[in-house]
Amino acid sequence: MEITIADKEVLMSEEKIVNDIIEGICPIRNIIASISDKWSLLVIYTLSQNPKMRFGEIHKSIPDISQRMLTVTLRSLEAGGLVSRQVFPEVPPRVEYQLTDLGYSLLDPLRGLVNWALNNMEVIQESRKNYQQ
Amino acid sequence: MEITIADKEVLMSEEKIVNDIIEGICPIRNIIASISDKWSLLVIYTLSQNPKMRFGEIHKSIPDISQRMLTVTLRSLEAGGLVSRQVFPEVPPRVEYQLTDLGYSLLDPLRGLVNWALNNMEVIQESRKNYQQ
DNA sequence: CCGTATCCTCGGTGATACTG
DNA sequence: CAGTATCACCGAGGATACGG
């Protein structure tokens, strides 16, 4: 029996559906999926340093993010309701971002994780260095 | 002026060095980098459900991870000192994994995050659904 | 049973150029 | 200033086959 491209597409979409179901049911999968992109947590942390920040300010705080990824990340956070975005119809344009209450509420558990990392980072790095085979 | 392949390799390695420095200095980058792979947190959570687990048991708990990625993830966690691995020289072979004290210590801050996710997941999903443009 | 070895795909990311 | 549009790339991860 042969597998056609159409079959593959069906399989792919089924796989995606299964994946969505798993993530929908399993809260852990869900947070991991949200968290595990390269920039989101960093942007949230940056925004927590100031009440309001313009696009350029955020970019200055995270110099090595590309303009594209900063936009993509901010939009994604806005979609989730973690960040609000206010456009001022001026010339030149001004856009201000700030954490929503929901966004701020994430800071508490996040701090727990950061503190854990601060306390154990060196041990972990040492362990990694000495790990053989 | 032309950019040769050799030049590119130099640029790449410099970029990687810069990246390493940033991650070395900035603890937040460091945790994000450690956390943001697809399976680590899930494996840690799974291992927290039982004191000791065999390779096959873990695989049954996370059916959609490939054998390869389960091995890779377990080795990476072992390297960081979060998981211990004990091989029994039997036929057929038996290998047992368990969280180390360091591994268990991650569970507390992790629970904070999971609880936050449980409390806010629906709001976020609703927000994402209604997000236009 | 518990892996390792290959090969390959695909999507996230960066670089660059352009617009209102 | 704050984006979009386009293209090219790498590397995490999957599929498969084999090994002790």
> Measured from the CB, is A18 under 7 Å from any atom of strand D?
no
Residue B33 has a pLDDT of 85
Is position B18 within any domain? no
Tell me the pLDDT tens digit for each residue of A82-113. Answer: 999 999 999 899 999 999 999 999 999 999 99
Q: Is the pLDDT assigned to residue B52 strictly greater than 70?
A: yes
Instruction: Count Cβ neighbours within 10 Å for each residue of B9-32 and write b for 16 or more, e otherwise.
Output: eeeeeeeeeeeeeebeeeebbbbb
Within a domain: B42: yes
Q: A56: domain CATH number?
A: 1.10.10.10
pLDDT, tens digit, 9 for 90 and up, residues B85-124: 999 999 899 999 999 999 999 999 999 988 998 899 889 9
Please tell me the predicted confidence (pLDDT) of residue A13. 52
Contact A109 B116 (CB under 8 A): yes
**Is residue B89 one of the residues assigned to a domain?**
yes
Examine residue B15 and state whether it is found in any structural domain, yes or no: no
Count of the separate structural domains present in chain B: 1
Nearest residue, CB atoms, A117 vs list B27, B45, B82: B27
Structure tokens at A127: 């362990």
Measured distance CA(B55)–CA(A115) in Å, rounded: 31
- The distance (Å) linking the CA of B13 with the C1' of D10 is 14
Q: Do residue A112 and residue B112 have CB atoms under 8 angstroms apart?
A: yes
Q: What is the pTM of this model?
A: 0.85
Measure the CA–CA gap between B116 and B112, rounded to whole angstroms.
6
- Which residues span the domain enclosing A58? 37-132
Separation between Cα atoms, residue B18 and residue B12, nearest integer Å: 10
- Rg from Cα positions in chain B: 20
Mean pLDDT along residues B31-51: 90
Q: Where are the beta strands (DSSP E) in chain A?
A: 53-54, 83-88, 94-99
Q: Where do the H-state alpha helices sit in A26-100?
A: 27-35, 40-47, 55-61, 67-79
pLDDT for A9 equals: 46
pLDDT at B67: 96
Sign of CA dihedral B61, B65, B66, B71: negative
Structure-model confidence comparison of residues A34 and A92, the more confident one: A92
Instruction: List residues of A whose CB lies inside 8 A of any B CB.
Output: 18-19, 22, 27-32, 34-38, 41-42, 45, 64, 78-82, 102, 105-106, 108-110, 112-118, 120-121, 123-124, 127-128, 131
